[in-house]
Chains A and B, each alone.
Chain A
Amino acid sequence: MTELAVRTRGLTRKFGDITAVDRIDLEIPRGQIYGFLGPNGSGKTTIIRMLCGLLTPTSGEAVILGLNVPEQAEALRQKIGYMTQKFSLYDDLTVEENMHFIAKIYGLPRAIAKQRISHLLDHYTLTGMRRRRAGAMSGGQRQRLALATATIHEPTMLFLDEPTSAVDPENRRDFWEKLFDLSDQGTTILVSTHYMDEAERCHQLAILDLGKLRIQGTPRDLMDQLQNRVIEIEGANLRQVKDRVVHLSQVQSAAQQGLKLRVLFQPDTENPANYLEQNLAGEKLSIAPARPSLEDVFVAATLGEGA
C-alpha cells in the first residue's frame, strides 16, 4: 500500500519563544508501525498531540487519514485511538467499567460493545482482573488495559506516546506482540519511544532532536547508510582511553559497552582504525571496525548539528 496515513508539511509549534516542533515533514504509509525516537523534550509528544488535533500548529499543515487537522479534527476522532504517556483512564473505575465507559463515549451499540470488550479482555489477558480497579494494577497491566481501550472502536490509526516507559522488559515484549497483531490487521501505528530496542522493531523510524526531524527511514537503511564509521576498542584502562579518545578531532563520541569502547567518528573519516592506532600508540589495545548499531545512528543524528 502506498497510500499515506499521515502527511505533514512544515509542521511547527511554538510555546512562547520556544520552538517545540520545527518544520517537520512526515510521510507515514498506511499499515505500518512508525517510530519516533528522541530524547525527552525532542517534541515527540507535541507532534502526536498536533496530529490528534489536541494542539493547534503554529504553522504548517497536517493531513491524517485524508482529513485536515485541526480543521477536521472532530471527524478524525472516530477513526483514531490515542494512548497518552500518562495513564489516562480512571483509577477508581474497574477494568470493565473503564472499557464500557469508553465504548459508550464512542457510541458503540450495547451488543457490539459487550462482544468486543469480552474479546479484548481475553486477547489482552485481562479477563481474570476485569473487576479490579485500574488504580490497583501493575504498570504492565495498565498498559494492556490502555491499549485494549484505545482499540475498542477499531480505529484505523493508533497514536501511542511512550507506551512502555513504565513497563518491564517482558511486558514490553508482549506489548509489542500485540502491536504487530494490530499492524497485521491493517492498523497504522505511530509510537514514540526512547528505547533503542523498541525503535528497532518499527517498520520505519524518525529520529527527533530539539524539535527537528534529523533523519528517517527503515532501521536497517538508517544503520547501513550511516556515514560515520564505528570502531571498537578492547583492552585495559578503557576509562582513561576514552578520555583521550573523545578529545581527538575526528572522533564524534565514545561510549563504553561492557568490555568494549565504541568510538563514533566524524562522517567521511579516512581509515579510522589507523587514525586511532596512531593516536593511541603505546597502549596495548585491540582496535577493530564494527557494524553501526541504531544507537550509533541516534548519537550521530542528535550530535550532528547541536554539538
Chain B
Amino acid sequence: MIKSLRRIGAIAQKEFTQLSRDRTTFAMIVMIPLIQLMLFGYAINSDVRNIPIAIVDLSNSIAARMITEEVRVTQVIEIVAHYDTPAEAEAAIVAGKIRAALVFPENLPQRVAGGNTVAQWMIDGSDAMVSAALLPLRTMPLDLERGTPPGSYRRSSPTFEMVLFFNPERRSAVNIVPGLTAVILTMTMILFTSAALVREREQGNLELLITTPIRPIELMVGKLIPYVLVGIIQVAIILGLGRVIFNVPFEGTLLNLSIVTLSFIAASLALGLLISTIAQTQLQAMQMTIFILLPSILLSGFMFPYEAMPKLAQTISEALPATHFIRLIRGVVLRGATIPDLSGDILWLLGFTVLVLAISAKRFHKTLD
C-alpha cells in the first residue's frame, strides 16, 4: 500500500516537473482564450422557446386560466408545474427546475376589470437569454379585454409585473462567466490528460514504464493528480476575475462550489483517460477533444439556453458532462443553490465518472498487444 502510494507520488511529481517545463502547454493556456474569442464571434442569437415555467394561481379564477392559456400559446414558455405559493416557485427556480413562475394574485378578477397589472412574473435572471425572451411578455395584450369596443378601453398599466431574480440588471457576463468555467475545464482537463498519456506512448516512455512493477491504476491516478490542481486553479482564476472585473456575484458557499467543481473535474479527467486509451497520437487526442469540446460549447447551455434547443440537440446536450456542470455552477454561484437542490446533476456526473473510468481501466493493458 505504501509502495503503491510512493509510486503514485513518483508519477505525480514527475508530471508536475514536466508540466512546468512544457512550453506547448503554456502556449495552450494563451491559445485557449483566443479560440474562445473566435467562437464567440460566430455566436448567433436564436429565438428562445419552451422555457419551463410554473403557474402559481392564488385567485383560482377563470380569468387566471384564460390568461395562462394566452401566455401558453405564445410558445415562449412551457408550463411544467403548478405551485400553491410563490415561495415554492422561488425554491424551484433556485433548484433550476423552472426558469420563471407566473403568479396570479387573489384579487385577479377585480384587477382585470380595473385594467390594472394583472399578474407577476418571477424570472430567473441568471441566464440573460431566458430573461430577454420573457421580458417582452410584460406588455402583452390580452384577448380577455378585446371584447370591449376598440378605443373605448385603454390599459394604463402593463399587463404583467416582471421581477428578475439573481441578475436584475440582465448583464450577460453574470451568466457567461460561470459557464466559461465549464468550457475551459472541458478543454484543459480532457486535452491535457489525454495528451499526457498518449505522449508517453508516442515517445516510448510507456514501453519502459510497463516493464516496471507499476499498476495501471497507480499510473492513471498519479497522472491525474496534477490536473485536478490545475482545474481548481483555473476555476479560481475565472470566478475571481469574474468577480473583480465583471462584478459577478457569488451567492453560494465555497464547499458547494468545490463539490460541484470536483465532480466535473473527475468526469472530464475520466473522459480524457478514455481518449488516451483510444488515441494513438497526440494529434488524434486533440481531434477527439475538439469533437467533445464543440458540442460542449454550443449545446451545453453555455451559449444558448437548453430550452431553446430542438429536441435532438437537447438529447445530445444531456449526454455532455458540461451541460450538467453548467446547471450546477450557475446554481451555486448565481442562485446560491445547495447540494440537495442539485443532487440529480451531481449524481449524473459521478455516475459518468465511474462508468468512464471502468471502461478506461478495461481498455488499458500493461502490454503492447
Contact = CB atoms under 8 A, between A and B. Distances in A.
Interface of A: 49, 52-56, 70, 73-74, 77-78, 80, 82, 84, 86-93, 97, 101-102, 104-107
Cβ-closest 3 pairs across A and B: A104-B10, A88-B208, A88-B204
B21 A56 contact: no
Given A53-B367, A55-B367, A91-B203, A80 B10 contact: no
B213 A78 contact: yes
A247 B3 CA distance: 65
Contacts of B21: 92
B14 interface: yes
A137 B36 CA distance: 39
Contacts of A84: 204, 207-208
Interface of B: 3, 6-7, 9-11, 13-14, 17-18, 21-22, 203-205, 207-214, 366-369
Given A54-B207, A93-B14, A105 B213 contact: yes
A86 B201 CA distance: 12
A74 B205 contact: no
Given A82-B208, A105-B214, A56 B18 contact: no
Given A54-B367, A55-B367, A91-B203, A107 B6 contact: yes
Of the candidates B18, B210, B213, B368, the one having the most CB atoms from chain A within 10 angstroms of its own CB is B213
Of the candidates B17, B18, B211, the one having the most CB atoms from chain A within 10 angstroms of its own CB is B211
B7 A104 contact: yes
Contact of B212 (A87, A97, A102): A102
B18 A93 contact: yes
A105 B332 CA distance: 41
B14 A87 contact: no
A203 B4 CA distance: 39
Given A54-B207, A54-B210, A107-B213, A92 B18 contact: yes
Nearest to B368: A54
A141 B168 CA distance: 67
A172 B368 CA distance: 29
B204 A86 contact: yes
7 contacts: A86-B207, A88-B205, A89-B208, A92-B21, A93-B14, A97-B14, A105-B214
A97 B368 CA distance: 26
B10 A101 contact: yes
Of the candidates A73, A105, A107, the one having the most CB atoms from chain B within 10 angstroms of its own CB is A105
Contacts of B367: 53-56, 70
A73 B210 CA distance: 11
Contacts of A93: 14, 17-18
B207 A88 contact: yes
Nearest to A103: B10
A77 B211 contact: yes
Nearest to A104: B10
B3 to A, nearest CB: 4
A82 B211 CA distance: 7
A56 B207 CA distance: 14
Contacts of B9: 104
Contact of A55 (B7, B208, B368): B368
Contact of B209 (A74, A87, A92, A105): A105
B209 A90 contact: no
A74 B366 CA distance: 10
A27 to B, nearest CB: 23
Given A84-B204, A90-B14, A90-B18, A56 B211 contact: no
Contacts of A70: 367
A92 B22 contact: yes
A221 to B, nearest CB: 32
Given A82-B208, A84-B207, 14 more contacts: A49-B368, A53-B366, A54-B207, A55-B367, A55-B369, A77-B212, A84-B204, A91-B203, A92-B17, A92-B18, A101-B10, A101-B13, A104-B9, A106-B213
Nearest to A97: B17
B204 A87 contact: yes
B6 A104 contact: yes
B13 to A, nearest CB: 8
B315 to A, nearest CB: 39
A105 B22 contact: no
Of the candidates B14, B203, B369, the one having the most CB atoms from chain A within 10 angstroms of its own CB is B14
Contacts of A56: 367, 369
A277 to B, nearest CB: 54
Contacts of B22: 92
A105 B7 CA distance: 5
A287 B204 CA distance: 51
A90 B14 CA distance: 9
A93 B203 CA distance: 13
Contact of B14 (A73, A74, A101, A107): A101
A107 B3 contact: yes
Of the candidates A49, A54, A87, the one having the most CB atoms from chain B within 10 angstroms of its own CB is A54
Of the candidates A49, A52, A73, A92, the one having the most CB atoms from chain B within 10 angstroms of its own CB is A92
